[in-house]
Amino acid sequence: MTTFVLVPGLVSDDRVWRCLKPVLSEFGDIIDADITGHDSITDMAKATLETATEDLVVFGHSLGGRVAMEMARIEPERVRGLVLANTGHHPRRPGEEVRRQELVDLGKRSMHDLAAVWLPPMLDAARNDDQTLLQDLIQMVTSTTAKVHERQIKALLDRPDAARTIGNYQGPVLLMTGAQDQWSPVEQHREIEALVTYVELAIIQNAGHFMPVEQPTAVAESVSLWLDQREFLWR
């Protein structure tokens, strides 16, 4: 039986992928990955691979997408499929560390202040007045420590170039992003799409970088359809 591994992103937890629990439970077992204890993407990937012995379909959001791709590089025979949401494939960009360090310093002063600055640009602008959504995400960020945030930022700054990894992967890939994602935009996912052999790209309307939380029904429907058409992943 295939196990589904759900990997969250930066200062995130299992609520990012909770929309998929009812869908995936019909197909196999589910593991919520914990990537809070490591400061490298490779170590995150290795630790997550050790949580199961079965074949895997790995779902990764943002930073979690990079962890998922690294898992596929390390054990391509076990990672039978990938669902990569709101993610990227480039190595560190020039000057990126400056802005990242500003956020690390802000988080050390107050994770609530970090959430207040960092979260709104991550959402579809039309959702910035959705207090239920915002409070849910603020609670998620503030339940994470500044130390975890700093570790995960280090992992992102030291990230490998994932273009070759995903280009070599021969399993099926579902790419997903929000039409209004300004952090990991549609064009970036089209670049990844061009690298992958067996790939489908789903663009979810009225969603930003936290697409699985902003549009849970649309995300669940896209994943369910993708799995229905690929029984070999879970039979």
Give DSSP secondary structure letters for 117-169.
HHSGGGS-GGGTT-HHHHHHHHHHHHTS-HHHHHHHHHHHHT----HHHHHH-
pLDDT of residue 2: 87
> Position 144: which residue type?
T
Helix (H) or strand (E) holding 228: helix 216-228
- Map tokens 């979260």 to a residue: 119
- C-alpha torsion 206→209→212→216, nearest 10: -20
Nearest to 226 by CA among 208, 186, 199: 199
- What was the pLDDT predicted at 106? 97
Residue 124: both structure tokens together: 């579809």
Helix (H) or strand (E) holding 85: strand 79-85
Contact 33, 62 (CB under 8 A): no
| Residues 130-174: tens digit of each pLDDT | 999 999 999 999 999 999 999 999 999 999 999 989 999 999 999
* pLDDT tier, 1 (very low <50, low <70, confident <90, very high otherwise): confident
- Checking if the pLDDT of 225 tops 90, the result is yes
| Radius of gyration (C-alpha) of the chain in whole angstroms | 16
Any idea of the CA torsion for 226, 229, 231, 232, to the nearest 10 degrees? -90
Question: Which residues have CB under 8 Å from 22's CB, separation 6+?
Answer: 220
pLDDT tens for 17-70 read: 999 999 999 999 999 999 999 999 999 999 999 999 999 999 999 999 999 999
For the chain, what are the domain ranges? Answer: 3-93+153-233
The per-residue pLDDT for 87 is 98
Residues 6 or more apart whose CB falls under 8 angstroms from that of 231 comprise: none
Q: Which residues, in sequence order, are bridge partners of residue 56?
A: 3, 79
Question: Residue 234 pLDDT more than 90?
Answer: no
Q: What is the CATH number of domain 3-93+153-233?
A: 3.40.50.1820
**CB-CB neighbours of 65 under 10 Å:** 28
